[in-house]
């Protein structure tokens, strides 16, 4: 049956932005690099829990990786708006390569200890504080404004395809070669991004001259005022804060749940995370296919509550198949929401403020993780492995209800 014209207007080619040569190079490099990142994201929590047998100490490693973003993201946004983004990316990717290579050396030859993980997580956290918003802001210089939403969705697609492949590959590698091999593969994967950057010739967005003359603190205040007085941006940031804090703590909750509730070893744990990645991949494909029709209010404002309900359901599952399906649904909802929210923020943001706005976005997404990680770790340690998921689901629902009331009050005023 032929697709009707209305359907054609809604769905589009999800790989539309690959027509830009610069973005094709970047996309290929990121595909390789994010697989390596997810291999380490799988191996590191497993190693931390194996060394400590403590969900709370595991959550500390994850929290330290995101703590620098909580402290320094706003300053990173000012740098991003002022300095050449390609050169800054070369620096951040090189530092990431060196840190992960050092972690491989220690784990392979030096006898890895828990405090080594704390240090490496903190160092990567400092690099990612600049790297995360930088990569977000760099996209517009490769694809322009017309295909920006599609490119953002493709970035999410890359990330979540790696979330599907990386944990499965990590589980196999951990079982065959040991945890250190995952750290080495992640280190080498950063070479792919560095090579791609060599071929990319971006079209920089020239910042407003007044912004450059402002002091650092005044530039930060200007960016925060810009967000606060745009009601849609401000409300989107509040919803993102709730979802990011309580719905993206899988690196803490899944390894504990896998071992204590499901009795899984490394390979089973890797496949469990791949189920999460499969759902996330489908969510990213959906957003990419809908990119030309713009962000949808149902996704922006209803999916967070549904995500909370699904988190509670995950905590109540009891076998591998049931948990895998529930995690896939959770991954689908979370990525569909976050990709749409990211697109909504970027298309509403003036180029002059893009670095600072995306630094606030990264501050919320990454900076809220220490809070969420510690919340989950404490719940799992004190009340059992199921409670991390359940408590997070309840928290999401408890925080979005006041936001719904705020939205209703705003409509009544209008």
Query: Does position 369 have pLDDT exceeding 70, yes or no?
Result: yes
Q: Is 369 exposed, middle or buried (0-12, 13-18, 19+ CB in 10 A)?
A: buried
In a domain, 4, yes or no: no
**Stretch 171-178: mean pLDDT, rounded?**
84
In a domain, 104, yes or no: yes
In a domain, 81, yes or no: yes
Q: How far apart are CA 327 and CA 329, in angstroms?
A: 5
Q: Can you give the pTM of this predicted structure?
A: 0.72
Q: How far apart are CA 282 and CA 367, in angstroms?
A: 26
Domain count for the chain: 1
In a domain, 7, yes or no: no
Three-state DSSP class for 1?
A: coil
- Which residue matches tokens 């504990």? 256
**Stretch 128-152: mean pLDDT, rounded?**
83
What does the mean pLDDT of the chain come to?
A: 82
Range of the domain at 23: 15-409
Here the CATH number for the domain that contains residue 87 is: 1.20.1250.20
In a domain, 56, yes or no: yes
How many of the other CB atoms lie within 10 Å of CB of 268? 17
Query: Does position 226 have pLDDT exceeding 80, yes or no?
Result: yes
In a domain, 73, yes or no: yes
- pLDDT bin (cut points 50, 70, 90) of residue 4 is very low
370-395 per-position pLDDT tens digit: 788 778 888 878 887 888 889 889 99
Residue 401's contacts (CB-CB under 8 Å, 6 or more residues apart) are: none
291-342 per-position pLDDT tens digit: 666 677 888 888 899 999 999 998 888 888 888 899 999 889 988 888 888 8
In a domain, 9, yes or no: no
At residue 411, the pLDDT reads: 60
Query: Does position 101 have pLDDT exceeding 90, yes or no?
Result: yes
At residue 126, the pLDDT reads: 92
DSSP 285-325: HHHHHTGGG---HHHHHTHHHHHHHHHHHHHT--SHHHHHH
In a domain, 160, yes or no: yes
């Amino acid at each position: 049956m032929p697709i009707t014209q209305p359907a054609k207007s809604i769905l589009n080619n999800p790989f539309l932005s690959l027509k830009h040569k610069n973005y094709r190079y970047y996309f290929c490099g990121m595909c390789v690099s994010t697989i390596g990142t997810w291999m380490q994201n799988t191996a590191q929590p497993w190693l931390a829990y194996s060394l400590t047998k403590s969900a709370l100490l595991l959550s500390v490693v994850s929290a330290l990786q995101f703590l620098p973003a909580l402290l320094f993201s706003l300053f990173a946004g000012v740098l991003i708006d002022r300095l050449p983004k390609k050169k800054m990316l070369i620096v951040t990717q090189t530092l990431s390569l060196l840190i992960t290579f050092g972690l491989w050396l220690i784990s392979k030859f030096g006898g890895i200890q828990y405090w080594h993980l704390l240090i490496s997580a903190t160092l990567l956290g400092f690099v990612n504080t600049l790297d995360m918003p930088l990569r977000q802001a760099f996209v517009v210089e490769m694809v322009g404004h017309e295909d920006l939403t599609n490119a953002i969705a493709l970035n999410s697609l890359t990330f979540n395809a790696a979330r599907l492949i990386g944990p499965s590959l990590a589980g196999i590698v951990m079982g065959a070669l040991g945890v250190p091999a995952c750290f080495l593969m992640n280190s080498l994967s950063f070479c792919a991004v560095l090579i791609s950057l060599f071929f990319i010739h971006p079209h920089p967005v020239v910042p407003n001259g007044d912004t450059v003359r402002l002091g650092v603190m005044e530039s930060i205040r200007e960016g925060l005022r810009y967000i606060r007085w745009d009601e849609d941006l401000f409300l989107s940031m509040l919803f993102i804060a709730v979802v990011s804090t309580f719905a993206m703590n899988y690196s803490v909750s899944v390894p504990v749940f896998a071992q204590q509730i499901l009795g899984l070893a490394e390979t089973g744990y890797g496949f469990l995370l791949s189920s999460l990645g499969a759902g996330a991949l489908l969510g990213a494909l959906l957003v990419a296919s809908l990119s030309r029709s713009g962000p949808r209010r149902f996704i922006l404002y209803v999916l967070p509550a549904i995500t909370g309900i699904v988190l509670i359901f995950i905590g109540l599952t009891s076998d591998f198949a049931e948990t895998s399906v529930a995690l896939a649904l959770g991954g689908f909802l979370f990525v569909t929401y976050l990709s749409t929210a990211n697109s909504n923020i970027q298309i509403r943001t003036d180029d002059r403020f893009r670095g600072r706005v995306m630094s606030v976005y990264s501050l919320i997404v990454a900076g809220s993780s220490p809070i969420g990680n510690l919340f989950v770790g404490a719940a799992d340690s004190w009340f059992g492995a199921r409670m991390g998921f359940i408590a997070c689901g309840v928290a999401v629902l408890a925080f979005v209800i006041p936001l719904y009331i705020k939205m209703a009050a705003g409509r009544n005023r209008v």
